[in-house]
Structure 1
Amino acid sequence: MSRIGKLPIKIPANVEVSYNEAAIIVKGQFGTLEKTIPNIIQIEQNANDLTVKLKNQTRSNRALHGLYRTLINNMVIGVSEQFKVTLNLRGVGYRAVVQGSSLVLSLGYSHPVTMDIPNDISVEVVQNTTVNLKGCNKENLGLFASNVRSWRPPEPYKGKGIIYEGEIVKRKAGKSGKK
């Protein structure tokens, strides 16, 4: 049995969970998430917690046990609290602006980079160089953050680029002249 899979999932008071053989639906203050689950996964609901169990124990089924417990837990956390990702723009002239439903980035190219913001993600720009992303779906939030970051990943010589908050960029020495 998976160590993570056997842990119960605490359900906050403002979250509703409904499930059947094929899917689980989690409703909360910040939205509604739905996930299809394989038929080998069985969900049991007690007073204020969920338990994810397996119908039969095989090697591949045990691998899915912890995965689906974590996915369901992320759904519960997302609709009750929301996930947040902060991106910092480091570089001369790097800025971000939200215009309507798109994020416009100035990243040193000859043209501004325009990205459409998905409906389930909210974007806030602080001080032109800090971008706060919030959303209830952790998967979509991480995908959008990595797409934004892919325009200028951090480089090791000067440390310029789009950097996640708390990320440490290992710096290289670069060239040293003749001595």
Structure 2
Amino acid sequence: MPSPCSSPRLLRHGPIFFAAFLSFFVSLGTLPAKAVEPDEVLQDQALEARARHISEGLRCLVCQNQSIEDSAAPLAKDLRLLVRERLKAGDTDQQIEDFVVARYGEFVLLKPRFEPHTLILWFATPVVFIVALLIVVLAYRRRSAAAQLPPLSKAEERRLKRLLEDR
């Protein structure tokens, strides 16, 4: 009786299973690692959940493409501790966010506020996408219209033949 490992079916799909297995473990390494240290965690689970929610919306000013929740930078740790202190003091989520924005500027927000001076941030991407889509559609129409040229007349064919023979 053949062993299960030598089954033709497994041998045929072996590379696929190996690739799936390998990609699974590689993807585990790319998951965001939370940088919150045990000494930062609040005892009250509700406050801790609020702190994590607020921290996920604040940008690390050192890393700039990570939230302070994900960053291991010392400044991010200071901001996480500041958020937790303000929560313990009884501030609302909005008050904490306003405090951090007043101290570091609106750049600290990963998701900018919807205000008149940030409208370009909100609408630039959709507008550029629509313009690019229109350009593609117009180019496609122009190309398809050019492809549907009428056939050459007899005189044009004779002239083309003469030109090709002169080469």
Shorter-chain TM-score category? under 0.3
The structure with higher relative contact order (CA 8 Å, sep 6+) is 1
TM-score (norm. length: structure 1) = 0.22
More helix by share: 2
Compare CA radii of gyration and give the structure with the larger one: 2
